Amino acid sequence: MKIGIVCYPTYGGSGVLATELGKGLAQKGHQVHFITYRQPARLTSFQENVFYHEVSNADYPLFEYPPYDTALASKLVDVVKHANLDILHVHYAIPHAAVAYMAKKILLTENRYVPTITTLHGTDITLVGSNRAFAPVVEFSINKSDGVTAVSESLKQQTLDYFNIDTDIKVIYNFIDFERFRKVNKDHFKKAIAPNGERILVHTSNFRKVKRVEDVIRIFKKVHDVMPSKLLLIGDGPERQKLESLCREIGLCDEIRFLGKQDAIEELLAVSDLFLIPSESESFGLAALEAMACQVPVISSNAGGLPEVNIHGETGFLADVGNVDQMAHHAITILNDNDILQKFRANALEKAKEFDLQRILPLYEEYYQHILDTCVYSNA
Ligand code: GMT
């Protein structure tokens, strides 16, 4: 198949997932065309069957807001025609689903029909999509997609709750590549981070409010009060300054390390004992899955799709959003005893295997084929 993939090229979960999906499909012999405004963060080296088309925007003084949607739609029309794409798969509804619809309509004027699939990732529904500023377009463009997938049952349900959806939504979970994410021996790293054998807790995110990174620090403080431990904060984002101030306020600057954006996250996960993800809202929690694949148990909130990934009492523990005491209590339960920790580690790995790339990739291929076989031109 010749597949066009539209995504955000950043480190965010939707862009990461879209890029890994495209790379996986290319490995299986499909021709994959990434169409976005910058080289995707995870598309760093040459790979057969992979193409990248950059969307360049017009720089004209009149445009206070450069019209990316228009530039992207034009690029999609161009790539569909010239690369002869079979299907367009857009990740994150805003603005990609609406732009794909626009491209589809333009192509129809030339008697060319390209089916579009939209994958909903989370905040495109929960935080941003349901905002009245976007909702009518989000609802319309979901309904006008030939296929729609959501990354968890919870996200599917939220989409049905927020919008009037008259099309099927198929749940295809986030996936993990075990070739990359697995526990490898990085003892020298561990020694550098925790020279006295301290427990290592870790959090990765884009440091947005929705991630509640303050809770991560407060949970860590409670753990640190009872056992020698270190906290690694990986990523960067708008909350960073506030978080650094909090570390100073509680006097734990030497125990908490801000590592910024890291490419080789798996190496840091390989030396970690516990992953913290107390998010306010989380459609799936790809970061938690990455940790679990590296045998790191998870303490999470019970928001959104997290309970579909992190199984309470098996792969880690869940608690209500904001319940820092409970989360700290759970963290201590796991970290206090090596046998318990080992059991949770093994369970985390077993659960992660359900989301193996090798299992999930064929689901996308089957779904593409299903859409190609059944899409009806009248949907345009
Ligand atoms: O978590 C983020 O803020 C990034 C965001 C994105 O859209 O890039 O991630 C969302 O998509 C991921 C991949 O499907 C999911 O694993 C994350 O749970 C989801 N984030 C939220 O729902 C907050």
Query: The whole model's pTM is what?
Result: 0.95
Query: What residues contact residue 356 under an 8 Å CB cut-off, 6+ apart?
Result: 175, 176, 178
Which residue owns the Cα nearest ligand 1 atom 1? Answer: 13
Angle between helices 286-293 and 13-27 (to 10 degrees): 60
Which residue owns the Cα nearest ligand 1 atom 21? Answer: 282
> Pick from 277, 284, 279, 21: which is nearest to 155 by CA?
284
CA of 155, closest atom in ligand 1 = 22
- Tell me what pLDDT residue 300 has: 98
CA of 151, closest atom in ligand 1 = 14
Residue 194 counted as domain residue = yes
Q: How many separate domains does the chain show?
A: 2
Residue 52 counted as domain residue = yes
Query: What residues contact residue 234 under an 8 Å CB cut-off, 6+ apart?
Result: 202, 203, 204, 259, 260, 261, 262, 265, 268
Residue 170 counted as domain residue = yes
Residue 252 and residue 366 in one domain: no
Give average pLDDT by consecutive 10-residue segment, the chain, 380 residues.
Answer: 96 92 97 97 92 92 92 98 98 97 97 97 87 93 97 97 96 97 90 96 96 98 98 96 97 96 93 98 97 98 98 98 98 98 98 98 98 81
With the most atoms of ligand 1 within 8 angstroms of its CB, the residue from 125, 181, 283, 360 to mutate is 283
Question: What's the chain's length in residues?
Answer: 380
Alpha carbon of 111 to ligand 1 centroid (Å): 36
Residue 196 and residue 150 in one domain: no
**Structural domain range at position 236:** 187-355
- Tell me what pLDDT residue 61 has: 86
CATH of the domain at 29: 3.40.50.2000
Alpha carbon of 13 to ligand 1 centroid (Å): 5
Helices (H), 134-284: 135-143, 153-162, 187-193, 213-226, 240-249, 265-269
The CA–CA distances, whole Å, from 4 to 24, 80, 99, 142, 372 equal 14, 8, 13, 18, 14
Residue 180 counted as domain residue = no
Residue 181 counted as domain residue = no
Residue 166 and residue 250 in one domain: no
Alpha carbon of 228 to ligand 1 centroid (Å): 32
> Pick from 161, 166, 123, 122: which is nearest to 142 by CA?
166
Residue 247 and residue 332 in one domain: yes
Residue 191 and residue 167 in one domain: no
Residue 149 and residue 226 in one domain: no
Residue 301 counted as domain residue = yes
Residue 365 and residue 332 in one domain: no
Residue 139 and residue 231 in one domain: no
Residue 195 and residue 319 in one domain: yes
Residue 115 counted as domain residue = yes
Residue 85 and residue 135 in one domain: yes
Residue 368 and residue 347 in one domain: no
Between CA 7 and CA 39 the distance in angstroms is: 10
The CA–CA distances, whole Å, from 124 to 21, 25, 54, 90, 94 equal 19, 24, 23, 12, 6
Q: What is the 3-state secondary structure (H, E, C) of 11-80?
A: CCHHHHHHHHHHHHHHHCCCEEEEEECCCCCCCCCCCCCEEEEECCCCCCCCCCCCCHHHHHHHHHHHHH
- Tell me what pLDDT residue 161 has: 95
Both tokens of 135, joined, read: 């909702």
Between CA 317 and CA 331 the distance in angstroms is: 8
- Tell me what pLDDT residue 378 has: 63
CA of 124, closest atom in ligand 1 = 7
Alpha carbon of 251 to ligand 1 centroid (Å): 31
Residue 273 counted as domain residue = yes
Which residue owns the Cα nearest ligand 1 atom 5? Answer: 13
Between CA 259 and CA 240 the distance in angstroms is: 11
Residue 345 and residue 364 in one domain: no
Q: Residue 296 corresponds to which amino acid?
A: V
Between CA 169 and CA 282 the distance in angstroms is: 18
Query: What residues contact residue 313 under an 8 Å CB cut-off, 6+ apart?
Result: none
CA of 122, closest atom in ligand 1 = 22
Neighbours of 119 (CB within 10 A): 28
Site residues for ligand 1, CB cut-off 6 Å: 12-15, 17, 92, 121-123, 151, 174, 206, 208, 210, 281-286
Query: What residues contact residue 12 under an 8 Å CB cut-off, 6+ apart?
Result: 206
